[in-house]
């Protein structure tokens, strides 16, 4: 029973569950934002859904829809998650100054022993 308790109380499992729940909720926001942008494209271009677009008799509309949605989702994730996270991480968890490497330390020890 203690093994099961340790499994449940490990930080990684809880963090993963929270991340999954947040990602599911955020996915709905991004989906709706994508629909909003697609409707704005429709207002500007006259057609928000490209599913009926054909080139040379080949239906490429679904691919265009998926491509536009991907670009919108990538932009939302980058500008609303990656950029703020990177800035917050740099602000609250600054990287410590790097010390000498192992090779440099070993060289110093060798030189000290040689003296």
Q: What tens digit of pLDDT does each residue of 36-92 get?
A: 888 887 777 777 677 787 888 888 888 888 888 888 888 888 898 889 988 988 888
Flag whether pLDDT at 11 surpasses 70.
Answer: no
Percentage of the residues of the chain whose pLDDT score is greater than 90: 11
- Is 36:67 a contact under the CB 8 Å cutoff? no
- Look at residue 9 and tell me whether its pLDDT is greater than 70: no
Helices 2-9 and 11-45: crossing angle, nearest 10°?
Answer: 40
What is the DSSP annotation of 52-109?
A: T-EETTEE-HHHHHHHHHHHHHHHHHIIIIIHHHHHHHHHHSPPPPP---HHHHHHHH
- Distance CA(32)–CA(27), nearest Å, equals 9
């Amino acid at each position: 029973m203690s093994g099961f308790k340790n499994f449940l109380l490990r930080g990684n499992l809880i963090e993963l569950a929270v991340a999954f729940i947040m990602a599911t909720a955020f996915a709905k926001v991004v989906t709706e934002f994508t629909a909003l942008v697609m409707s704005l494209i429709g207002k500007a271009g006259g057609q928000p859904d490209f599913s009926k677009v054909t080139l040379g008799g080949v239906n490429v509309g679904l691919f265009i829809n998926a491509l536009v949605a991907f670009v919108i989702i990538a932009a939302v994730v980058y500008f609303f998650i990656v950029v703020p996270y990177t800035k917050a991480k740099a602000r609250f968890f600054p990287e410590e100054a790097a010390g000498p490497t192992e090779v440099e330390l070993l060289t110093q020890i060798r030189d000290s022993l040689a003296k």
